[in-house]
Amino acid sequence: MESKSQGMFSYVRQSSMAPERQNDPPKTEGKLEFDEEGVRLMFLANEGDLEGINEVLDSGIDVNFKDIDSRTPLHVASCQGFPGVVQLLLERGAEVDPKDRWGSTPLADAIYYKNQDVIKLLGKHGANMASMHIQNAREIPEYEIGPGELDFSNSVDITKGTYRIASWRGIEVAVKTLADDVVMDEEKVKAFTDELALLQKIRHPNVVQFLGAVTLSNPMTIITEYLPKGDLRGFLKRKGALKPLTTVKFALDIARGMNYLHETRPAIVHRDLEPSNILRDDSGHLKVADFGVSKLLKVSATVKEHEPLRCQEFSWRYVAPEVYKNEEYDTKVDVFSFSLIIQEMIEGCPPFVSKQEEEVAKAYCSNERPPFTAPEKHYALGLKELVEHCWNDNPMKRPTFRQIISRLEEIEKVLDRKRRLKSGPFGCFRMLGKLGKKRHIDYGSHSSTSIVR
């Protein structure tokens, strides 16, 4: 006599972590012992029969019934992509994270079969990602933060819903939620967790500090330090064109942060270096932010995208032509973006401000560059030549950030010397001269009288 617990039908879709998967899994066979209500429940979940499921559950069958492979009705419905069945089972008390004999959860199955509606639904109920890349508690990464540690009670959006402020262990932090396409793709999740292992080692005063991440439950998030002074984009909108010395000091902050990322092993290519991804700390210094965390890190000598990048992923206004043309690229794409940021700080407006985003990218590909309209003195001491060197059409001819830092430090020394001379022993007389336009001053007697007319 056959065991009733085994059942006599095959699932259309198998466990996402079963050792052997077939391209064309067998369709459901009709051989089912309907007197075994638990097996019947599994069959109905496989078929998406809401009415039948309710009927069986009303008869008293355990909603968490397990077959010989420890798979539950929720596993089956998640594989099949039946959000209505998943919702019903959860409402009737189904455990959200049961593991089958291979360690797979309903969420892991839904992700494997790319059932997006089910993924979102399980995520809302606190489904766990652990089975996809964590085998036991010892393997939980150091950066992992429990979602319950983040307090969003006073949360506000920082940038168009991309980042939110939260409280974590008594401090304010910035929290970025990953896109659904990352959570749905098992390979991207694995690559993402590998990247986080690298990011947790990054420590530099000109790079926004990575604090941790939520990867074992949905939604998956990145937690970084929060810098309330905002980004360089907002600063430039308020201030307009910056003085040469301020421009050079800001440029050095950016270059030092980028040099650190480029000289990390494996190297990190930002690809999206632009003013809104550069933040100001309390002391007024700049920090590079958002360096590829939501994108796969580029760790080889050169990179070529599998498919052309889309405009909505980042601003074409600051992107090197080789990226737009979907050619191989390396760290020099960030040098190109850097040149445009320097020029914007001096000019007081974004590059090709009157052009649309894609028009700008096409202009770069035609070897057009934004015009230099600011007074020549603002580009003194080789700043203009540095900008032109950095946006060279040939990436091989662009300098490294280490070389850029050396040139900027020399320019900074000269500008600092000039500033000290202006504010030296005779600086007070220049100030008095300006005041003398409004007041008559008797320097000999050290007294002054207002001129009344």
| Residues 318-355 pLDDT 10s | 999 999 998 988 999 999 999 999 999 999 999 999 99
**178-195 mean pLDDT:** 69
Sequence-separated (6 or more) residues with CB below 8 Å from residue 243? none
Is the whole-model pTM more than 0.85?
Answer: no
**What kind of architecture, by CATH, is found in domain 232-422?**
Orthogonal Bundle (1.10)
The number of beta carbons lying within 10 Å of the beta carbon of residue 375 is: 10
Paired strand residues for 166: 173
What does the pLDDT read at residue 69? Answer: 85
Q: How large is the angle between the packed helices 37-47 and 50-58, nearest 10 degrees?
A: 160
Fold of 4-128: 1.25.40
- Can you give the length of the chain in residues? 453
User: Does 4-128 match 147-225 in CATH topology?
Assistant: no
What does the pLDDT read at residue 271? Answer: 87
CA separation, residue 430 to residues 28, 130, 176, 316, 420 (Å): 92, 69, 51, 46, 14
Domain limits of the chain?
A: 4-128, 147-225, 232-422, 425-453
Please answer whether residues 281 and 232 qualify as being in contact, where contact means their C-beta atoms are separated by less than 8 angstroms.
Answer: no
Q: What residue type is assigned to position 81 of the chain?
A: G
pLDDT at 300 over 90: no
What does the pLDDT read at residue 20? Answer: 54
Fold of 147-225: Phosphorylase Kinase; domain 1 (3.30.200)
Query: In the chain, what is the greatest distance between 2 CA atoms, to the nearest angstrom?
Result: 121
Would you name the residues annotated as active-site residues? Answer: 272
Could you read off the pLDDT of 252-277 as tens digits, one per residue?
Answer: 999 999 999 999 888 888 888 999 99
